[in-house]
């Protein structure tokens, strides 16, 4: 009888492990491999452009591309193109290269190479190379929002270390609210509203992340030190 009891417990344990492994595999596979996001961009409430972003994962490699096109006189500035390439790991995105291009201006081009083996970040700015120490989990200006798919904020505060291509900084974001509704193409979504701790002279950045859509960004808002407001609002979303 004792052996039968032990055998039954072993079978239950094996069944539990099997179900748990299936659930973990399901969660890992549930993350989208192809994402298309389209936004309208406004400055102080006036529309001035649009953004189209794509995220693709092939095997263990990812590629992100963000293209901003201005309307009217803003179109003369040329397209602003951000790209990020790297590896998808168990902890999320691990960038290897980031690039920012503004129209045909080479002076405004920014390039960042992530040398993980050497723990170094090399940033090319106006032909000069700036080197910073590279910490684990560091993201770039294009990749950091997609990192929320893998590590959504579960605490009231979260630190984000990222490079803009010019410099490397760590930003502390606080969760302001959960369940705030944002409408995208006539569909209402619940979002998590987070904001950075902006000191005097710093830009205030806010994000609204879709709670039921992989924590993808539904809205960005930036308020600079002069009080000017820039907002990027999601108009179309496609995931598979």
Across-strand partners of 58? 61
Quick one: pLDDT band at residue 111, thresholds 50, 70, 90? Answer: very high
Q: Is the pTM of this model over 0.75?
A: yes
Q: Which residues contact 7 (CB under 8 A, 6 or more apart)?
A: none
Distance CA 107, CA 165 (A): 13
Closest CA to 158 of 213, 227, 205, 190: 205
Closest CA to 64 of 183, 221, 217: 217
The pair of three-digit structure tokens given for residue 38, joined into one six-digit string: 């389209």
In terms of residue numbers, what domain contains 91?
32-239
Indicate whether 16 belongs to any domain.
no
CB 170 within 8 A of CB 161: yes
Residue 115 vs residues 119, 138, 148, 155, 159: alpha-carbon distances, Å: 6, 11, 23, 30, 21
Q: Which residues contact 204 (CB under 8 A, 6 or more apart)?
A: 195, 196, 198, 222, 223
Indicate whether 19 belongs to any domain.
no
CB 59 within 8 A of CB 89: no
Residue 126 vs residues 70, 97, 105: alpha-carbon distances, Å: 24, 17, 11
pLDDT tens by residue, 116-151: 999 999 999 988 999 999 999 999 999 999 999 999
Indicate whether 140 belongs to any domain.
yes
Indicate whether 22 belongs to any domain.
no
Indicate whether 27 belongs to any domain.
no
Lowest mean pLDDT among 8-22, 35-49, 205-219: 8-22
> In the predicted model, is pLDDT for residue 6 greater than 80?
no
Indicate whether 155 belongs to any domain.
yes
The DSSP secondary-structure symbol of 90 reads T
Helices (H), the chain: 2-30
Determine how many CB atoms are found less than 10 A away from the CB of residue 37.
23
Domains in the chain, number = 1
Indicate whether 11 belongs to any domain.
no
Average pLDDT of the chain is 87
Q: What is the mean pLDDT of residues 82-96?
A: 97
Quick one: pLDDT band at residue 3, thresholds 50, 70, 90? Answer: low
Distance CA 47, CA 235 (A): 13
Indicate whether 14 belongs to any domain.
no
Please report, for the domain that includes residue 40, its CATH number.
Answer: 2.40.360
The DSSP secondary-structure symbol of 8 reads H
């Amino acid at each position: 009888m004792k052996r039968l009891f032990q055998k039954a417990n072993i079978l239950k344990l094996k069944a539990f492990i099997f179900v748990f492994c299936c659930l973990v595999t399901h969660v890992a596979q549930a993350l989208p491999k192809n994402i298309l996001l389209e936004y309208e961009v406004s400055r102080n409430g006036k529309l001035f452009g649009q953004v189209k972003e794509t995220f693709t994962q092939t095997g263990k490699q990812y590629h992100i591309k963000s293209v901003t096109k201005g309307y009217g006189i803003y179109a003369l500035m040329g397209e602003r193109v951000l790209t990020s390439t790297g590896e998808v790991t168990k902890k999320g995105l691990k960038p290897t290269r980031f690039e920012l291009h503004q129209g045909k201006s080479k002076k405004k081009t920014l390039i960042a190479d992530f040398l993980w083996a050497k723990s170094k970040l090399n940033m090319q700015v106006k032909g000069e190379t700036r080197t910073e120490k590279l910490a684990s989990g560091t993201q770039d200006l294009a990749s950091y929002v997609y990192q929320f798919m893998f590590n959504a904020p579960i605490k009231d505060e979260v630190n984000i270390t990222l490079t803009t291509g010019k410099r490397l900084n760590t930003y502390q974001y606080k969760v302001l609210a959960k369940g705030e509704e944002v409408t995208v193409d006539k569909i209402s979504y619940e979002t998590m509203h987070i904001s950075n701790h902006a000191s005097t002279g710093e830009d205030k950045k806010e994000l609204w992340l879709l709670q039921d859509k992989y924590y993808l960004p539904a809205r960005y808002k930036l308020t600079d030190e002069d009080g000017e407001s820039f907002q990027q609002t999601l108009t179309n979303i496609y995931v598979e």
